[in-house]
Amino acid sequence: MVRTTLRTILLAGLAGVATARNCKNLTVSLSLSALNTNFALQAPANDIDVTDFVLNLAQPGMNYSQEVLSTSNQFIPVSGNYTIGATWCVPQWGPGKVLQVLTHGIAFDRRYWDFAAQGHKYSYVDAALARGYSTFAYDRLGLGASSHGEPVNEIQTALEVAALTELTSMLRSTRVPGVTFRYPKVVHVGHSYGSVQSYALTAAHPELSDGVVLTGFSQALGSFVPYFLLGGNFVEAGGVYPPGYMASADVPAAQTNFFAPGNFDQAILEAAYEAGQPVTVGELMTIGSATTRNNSFGGPVLVITGERDVPFCGGNCLTMKPSIPAQTEQYFTNASYFESIVVPRSGHGLNLEYSAQDTYASILDFFDKNV
Ligand SMILES: *[C@@H]1O[C@H](CO)[C@@H](O)[C@H](O)[C@H]1NC(C)=O
Ligand SMILES: *[C@@H]1O[C@H](CO)[C@@H](O)[C@H](O)[C@H]1NC(C)=O
Ligand SMILES: *[C@@H]1O[C@H](CO)[C@@H](O)[C@H](O)[C@H]1NC(C)=O
Ligand SMILES: *[C@@H]1O[C@H](CO)[C@@H](O)[C@H](O)[C@H]1NC(C)=O
Ligand SMILES: *[C@@H]1O[C@H](CO)[C@@H](O)[C@H](O)[C@H]1NC(C)=O
């Protein structure tokens, strides 16, 4: 009876949505503040400057982020009112008990989780809905339908983690306008940089999550980020983005960083490139420091990464025993359960490769069993 009532309210709430998939696009206002890193650096003004920046950041034996730190103040307080573009989806039969908060990585926006090409054949969201989970995917602060910003000292990891933290506490207390249901459990799924941010969230606020899945992740990022930088063929993103927002110049760069040999459909690679989103100077300079500390999160953790992942494994996650993603167990000192999976033959862009359905099933099995 209660269930029927909830369902009726929910469906009424979603009545304005054209799709049969029970998804609703939202714009969420957030008031945020964070302590960012203060870099004394001009945003690269053209493609030559972008390449110089990449060569500096990728240089072995140097810490370029350290070199360009402001000599007056290492940290800079940033605050403001921002908006986040998000999509909330619920299963046909009602919201279920668990909401998954999905944070995408570099080169994508929220569409990574619900890729529309080929009739949603590569949709993690559809797989989650079919198992009774609701999803909340959003464009990370700085890109897509979310507020854009200054690319050196504003759009950085600390401010983006503040956005994820605030979104999560608003979702938990039904303060996101349009998301009317109070979910008994809220879990986090990240991809790549989104996993880095989900790690940072659960390390700083373990009480805000009931389970975390880090996809396309390891803690060896520091060793392999130069591969990603040099493989990415970065140029100014242009368009609606100011200088200092960078994107891959061509399809082969997207292939190098996200797709493993023999494991993808060329049309999906091209669609992923077309949908590509930029990365900021400030993001690239602060990505490494967010996962160096231990994490006392007390819930269940899954790390799932493609065997051929470039940025987090250098192209082979199995060069160590246990695997490179499995090494993350040492950092989760208080997890109720830890599991790691290396997806055979897959690259970094797990959701968009031939092995995608296996990846989705592994993630959803983990949630079914542990949350
Ligand atoms: C909702 O947002 C998604 C992701 O940005 C977009 O692809 C889709 O067209 C939007 N739908 C509507 C009805 O605006
Ligand atoms: C580089 O310097 C930054 C800023 O001081 C620091 O946060 C980061 O941990 C350093 N990285 C390495 C690999 O030492
Ligand atoms: C954000 O908005 C609130 C109310 O709309 C306002 O009081 C506050 O000053 C704003 N904060 C910033 C940093 O602009
Ligand atoms: C470990 O996690 C539990 C929640 O499961 C929490 O109550 C406890 O405070 C955590 N321990 C540490 C040392 O953070
Ligand atoms: C992190 O936890 C490991 C145990 O898993 C411990 O050996 C290490 O000293 C811890 N590191 C820090 C910085 O606390």
What tens digit of pLDDT does each residue of 175-194 get? 999 999 999 999 999 999 99
The residue behind tokens 């709430």 is 13
The pLDDT, as a whole number, for residue 59 is: 97
The atom number, within ligand 3, closest to the CA of 31 reads: 1
Q: Which atom of ligand 4 is nearest to the CA of 299?
A: 5
Helices (H) and strands (E) in the chain, counts: 12, 13
Ligand 1: residue of 25, 110, 125, 140 to mutate (most ligand atoms within 8 A of CB) is 25
CA–centroid distance, residue 178 to ligand 2 (Å): 40
Answer whether 367's CB lies under 8 Å from 211's CB.
yes
pLDDT at 9 over 70: no
Which of 39, 59, 66, 285 is the best mutation target for the ligand 2 pocket, counting ligand atoms within 8 Å of the beta carbon and taking the most? 66
> Which amino acid appears at position 47 of this protein?
D
CA distance linking residue 125 with residue 273, whole number of Å: 20
* Tally of CB atoms within 10 A around 240: 10
Q: Residue 166: which H helix or E strand, with range?
A: helix 157-172
Instruction: Measure 209 CA to ligand 1 centroid, in angstroms.
Output: 27
Rounded distance between C-alpha atoms, residue 279 and residue 237, angstroms: 8
Residues in the chain: 371
- Give the residue carrying structure tokens 């909340």: 136
pLDDT (average), residues 224-252: 98
Relative to the CA of 79, which ligand 3 atom is closest?
13
- Taking CA atoms only, the protein residue closest to ligand 4 atom 1 is 298
31 within ligand 3 shell (Cβ under 6 A): yes
Q: Give the 3-state secondary structure percentages of the chain, helix then strand then coil, rounded to 5.
A: 35, 20, 40
Angle between helix axes 157-172 and 193-204 (nearest 10 degrees) is 60
Gap between the Cα atoms of 137 and 104, Å rounded: 8
Ligand with an atom nearest the CA of residue 207: 4
pLDDT surpasses 90 at 20: no
Instruction: Give the pLDDT mean for 127-156.
Output: 98
H or E element, residue 33:
strand 23-37
* Residues whose beta carbon lies within 6 Å of some atom of ligand 5: 294, 330, 333
DSSP 332: B
Per residue in 261-301, pLDDT (tens digit) is 999 999 999 999 999 999 999 999 999 999 999 999 999 99
User: Rounded distance, CA 311 to CA 220, Å?
Assistant: 9
pLDDT at 2: 34
Q: CA 205, 210, 212: angle at the middle one, nearest 5? A: 80
Residue nearest to atom 1 of ligand 3 (CA): 81
Which token pair is 152?
Answer: 């050196």
The pLDDT assigned to 16 comes to: 37
- State the average pLDDT for the chain: 94
| Cα distances (Å, whole numbers) of residue 138 to 181, 220, 237, 301 | 18, 26, 20, 21
- 49-54 average pLDDT score: 98
Whether 79 lines ligand 3, by a CB cut-off of 6 Å, is: yes
Instruction: Provide the sign of the torsion angle of the four alpha carbons 191, 196, 200, 203, taken in this order.
Output: positive
The candidate with the shortest Cα–Cα distance to 212, out of 228, 200, 226, is 200
Question: What residues contact 286, with CB distance under 8 A and at least 6 apart?
Answer: 36, 37, 65, 156, 157, 158
Task: Measure 294 CA to ligand 5 centroid, in angstroms.
Answer: 6
CA 132-136-141 angle, 5° bins: 165
* CA–CA distance, 175 with 180 (Å, rounded to integer): 8
* Contact call for residues 84 and 32 (beta carbons, < 8 A): no
Residue nearest (by alpha carbon) to ligand 3 atom 13: 80
